[in-house]
């Protein structure tokens, strides 16, 4: 099968390309050629072209026809216009910010994107609500006007090697620098769907394998198991053998956690993956805990340049002096807080609770 992959050098690209080749596809890469990764065979046929330039695409692909085009990079509207008459099947990647409230949680009352969010959830309706999300919605509409049988994936945040916005670096760098504590907003209880690059690629490959089911469909994708931010921090610390104090501070009082949240609020952004699981049979190839450990170890071996693009994108200043001042102030405040003895009758967890700290058993022995 003759297949064109537009992209290929990003986080998911190596897994998509290798997966297609394992399936017997004759793969050609199209990208700018600015980033080469060791995991891809240099002998792969390549077309060097800017996929954001529609005229350049038309010229580069003149006279070509493909059984499948997988587009994970470039200006999707332009790519769709060029490829509509140049391929039998088309699989593309977009983004979850198409959902109303994904970027602007205040659009919902009460505030926060409803969870889980399925493919038929409301989309951004205007640039005033969220300009980026609105552009993504218009791009999806343009895609299906050009290629009605396309398969489209709404990506969450993707993690793994070669990610240009590595959330995990905010944790890994602090471990490398032997920080004794990390500050998390609101106990790190936020749930956000993330997708390990190999898992995301697996989802796209399932669509490539099942055209009769996937054609004309839109799918959420990501890890099917969602870890809280606190769990992410704990998994990475364990993987790197680091022991530290995890401090919970209300998000409203401290901006330190914003690079980890990647949004102003600590509300959830949880995608419903039911359609992907039941229609295409998706399951995580790599469990998220293992995927995070791999990512953390990769970042230790391939640290982003200090003050470089990745850190600029993440907007984490790694200002430890300021963090220490916040920790000291928060410790003082906690010491000043009254304990439960100020209540005539202390509040408890309720009589239905049976875990640690709950009500004692009513009898010493029970019949088996």
Q: Does domain 2-331 have CATH number 2.60.40.1120?
A: no
The structural domains of the chain, with segments of one domain joined by +, span 2-331
Burial 266-294 (b: 16+ CB within 10 A, else e): bbbbbbbbebbeeebebebbbebbebbbb
**Are the CB atoms for 6 and 31 separated by under 8 Å?**
yes
The pLDDT value recorded for residue 356 is: 85
Query: What per-residue confidence (pLDDT) applies to 230?
Result: 98
CB 17 within 8 A of CB 11: no
Which residues of the chain, if any, have pLDDT below 70?
Answer: 35, 368
Q: How far apart are CA 78 and CA 75, in angstroms?
A: 6
Question: Residue 340 has what pLDDT?
Answer: 87
Cis peptide before 110 (omega within 30 of 0): yes
pLDDT the model gives residue 17: 95
Please tell me the predicted confidence (pLDDT) of residue 258. Answer: 95
When computed from its CA atoms, the radius of gyration of the chain, rounded to whole angstroms, is: 24
The pTM of this model reads 0.94
Beta bridge partners of 191: 228
d(CA 156, CA 110): 23
For residue 234, CA distances in Å to 163, 164, 207, 223, 292 come to 21, 23, 34, 18, 10
Query: What is the rounded CA–CA span in Å between residue 42 and residue 59?
Result: 24
Residues 81 and 146 sit within 8 Å (Cβ to Cβ): yes
* Tokens, residue 292: 């995070």
Task: Locate all alpha helices (DSSP H) within the chain, ordered by sequence.
Answer: 13-22, 54-60, 76-83, 131-146, 169-176, 197-209, 211-214, 229-239, 258-261, 274-280, 288-301, 309-314, 320-336
């Amino acid at each position: 099968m003759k297949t064109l992959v537009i992209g290929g050098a990003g986080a998911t690209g190596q897994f998509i390309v290798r997966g297609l080749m394992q399936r017997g596809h004759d793969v050609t890469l199209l990208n700018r050629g600015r980033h080469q990764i060791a995991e891809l065979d240099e002998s792969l046929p390549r077309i060097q072209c800017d996929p954001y330039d529609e005229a350049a695409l038309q010229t580069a692909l003149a006279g070509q026809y493909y059984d499948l085009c997988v587009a994970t990079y470039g200006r999707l509207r332009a790519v769709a216009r060029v490829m509509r008459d140049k391929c039998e099947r088309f699989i593309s990647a977009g983004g979850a910010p198409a959902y109303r409230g994904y970027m602007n949680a205040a659009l919902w009352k009460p505030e926060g994107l409803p969870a889980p969010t399925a493919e038929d959830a409301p989309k951004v309706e205007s640039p005033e609500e969220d300009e980026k999300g609105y552009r993504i919605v218009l791009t999806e509409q343009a895609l299906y006007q050009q290629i009605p049988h396309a398969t489209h994936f709404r990506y969450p945040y993707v993690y793994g090697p070669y990610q240009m916005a590595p959330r995990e670096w905010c944790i890994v760098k602090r471990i490398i620098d032997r920080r004794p504590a990390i500050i998390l907003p609101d106990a790190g209880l936020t749930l956000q769907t993330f997708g390990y690059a190999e898992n995301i690629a697996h989802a796209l490959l399932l669509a490539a394998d099942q055209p009769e089911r996937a054609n004309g469909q839109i799918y959420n994708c990501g890890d099917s198991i969602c870890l809280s931010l606190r769990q992410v921090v704990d998994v990475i610390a364990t993987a790197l053998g680091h022991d530290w104090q995890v401090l919970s501070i209300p998000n409203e009082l401290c901006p330190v956690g914003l690079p980890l949240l990647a949004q102003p609020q600590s509300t959830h952004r949880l995608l419903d993956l039911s359609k992907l699981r039941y229609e295409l049979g998706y399951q995580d190839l790599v469990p998220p805990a293992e995927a995070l450990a791999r990512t953390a170890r990769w970042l230790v071996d391939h640290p982003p340049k200090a003050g470089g693009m990745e850190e600029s994108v993440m907007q984490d200043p790694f200002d430890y002096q300021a963090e220490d001042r916040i920790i000291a102030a928060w410790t003082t405040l906690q010491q000043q807080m009254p304990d439960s003895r100020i209540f005539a009758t202390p509040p408890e967890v309720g009589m239905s609770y049976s875990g640690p700290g709950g009500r004692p058993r009513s009898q010493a022995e029970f019949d088996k």
